[in-house]
Chain A
Amino acid sequence: MKNILITLAMAVAACAVAFGVSYRMCCEQELHRAASEGDAMTWLRTEFHLNEAQFAAVKKLHSDYGMMCGEHCAAIMAAKKRNAPPAEILALEKTCVEAMTAHFKSVAGLMPPAEGERYLAVVMPRVDGYGHTGAPNVQMKP
């Protein structure tokens, strides 16, 4: 009985060690850190295997788009504040979506072709499905 219990204990220990090693090996630490810190740029670099030049170009593109995005945001907010006609708000939002789509395509164009396609497959489905009420936790860092 004692030997059976020792054998079972050894098996449980082996199971725990295998779990730990496997988890560590398969765990994408950088992705997890980027997700917990909201570091989208690190995510882009690692997820889509960008080299330094591609990463610098993508960062610049995001930085430039950030200003445009802020202007769109301000225009939408101003229209909502003054109770502009729905058609006007919709037009502003359409402009926003078009600019965003163009931006994502530009970013994809800076990536290796296969990675660019994968990038678009990740981001594009997330564009259309939003409600327009605001994002509670925007933590993206430049």
Chain B
Amino acid sequence: MNNHETNESLSRVLEGWRVEPKRDPGFRAGVWARIEVERRVPSWPGYVRTHVALAAGLMAVALVGGGWIGREQARARAGADRAAIAENYVRALDARTMRMP
């Protein structure tokens, strides 16, 4: 079988091939329904505008919570630093705790 014969048989198959999809009467309505669903989901700013109290409350909690945790963390670190340096300071001046080189 050479290339010429192959092409002819392929051409015959292609000539006889017909796509006959079943008619779907609900296709158009389905497309529009999906478009409508997407259209009804608001953008984020629109969502926030319609849920102002929730969004504002959430942001307030986040800001206050973050600020409080940050302050506590900073205080804890300062307390630890203060204790460590005071301890070293006193030890450095205590002849009983010194070691001669």
Chain A bound to chain B: yes
Contact A65 B100, beta carbon cutoff 8 Å:
no
CA gap between A99 and B100 in the complex, in Å: 19
* Contact present for B47 and A26 (CB under 8 Å): no
Please tell me the number of chain B residues within 8 Å of chain A, measured between CB atoms. Answer: 45
Contact between A3 and B44 (Cβ–Cβ < 8 Å)?
A: yes
**Interface pair B47/A3, CB less than 8 Å apart:** yes
Residues from chain B with a CB closer than 8 A to the CB of A36 are: 81
Inter-subunit contact A28/B92 (CB<8 Å): no
Q: Is the CB of B73 within 8 A of A130?
A: no
Contacts of A99 in B (CB 8 A): 95
Q: How many chain A residues have a CB neighbour from B under 8 Å?
A: 65
Whether A130 contacts B97 by the Cβ 8 Å rule is: yes
Q: Tell me the minimal C-beta distance from A91 to chain B in angstroms.
A: 12
B97 near A134: Cβ-Cβ < 8 Å: yes
Task: Give chain B interface residues in 46-94, CB to chain A under 8 Å.
Answer: 47-48, 51, 54-55, 58-59, 61-71, 73-75, 77-78, 81-82, 84-94
Question: Given A3-B44, A31-B82, A137-B88: A19 and B66 within 8 A (CB)?
Answer: yes
- Whether, in the assembled complex, A139 has its beta carbon less than 8 Å from a beta carbon of chain B, the answer is yes
The docked-state distance in angstroms from the alpha carbon of A137 to that of B82 is 16
Question: Does B81 contact A28, Cβ atoms closer than 8 Å?
Answer: yes
Given contacts A11-B58, A123-B89, contact A3 B95 (CB under 8 A): no
Is B35 interfacial (CB-CB < 8 Å)? no
- Assess the A43–B89 pair: CB atoms within 8 A: yes
B94 to chain A, nearest CB (A): 6
Interface string of A45-79 (1 = CB under 8 A from B): 00100000000000000100110011111111100
A sample of 24 inter-chain contacts (CB < 8 A) reads A7-B44, A7-B51, A8-B58, A11-B61, A22-B69, A24-B74, A26-B71, A26-B74, A31-B81, A31-B82, A40-B92, A43-B86, A47-B82, A65-B93, A70-B95, A71-B95, A97-B96, A100-B93, A122-B82, A135-B92, A135-B97, A137-B88, A138-B92, A140-B93
Nearest 10 interchain pairs by C-beta: A22-B70, A18-B66, A72-B95, A140-B92, A35-B81, A26-B74, A15-B66, A3-B47, A23-B70, A15-B62
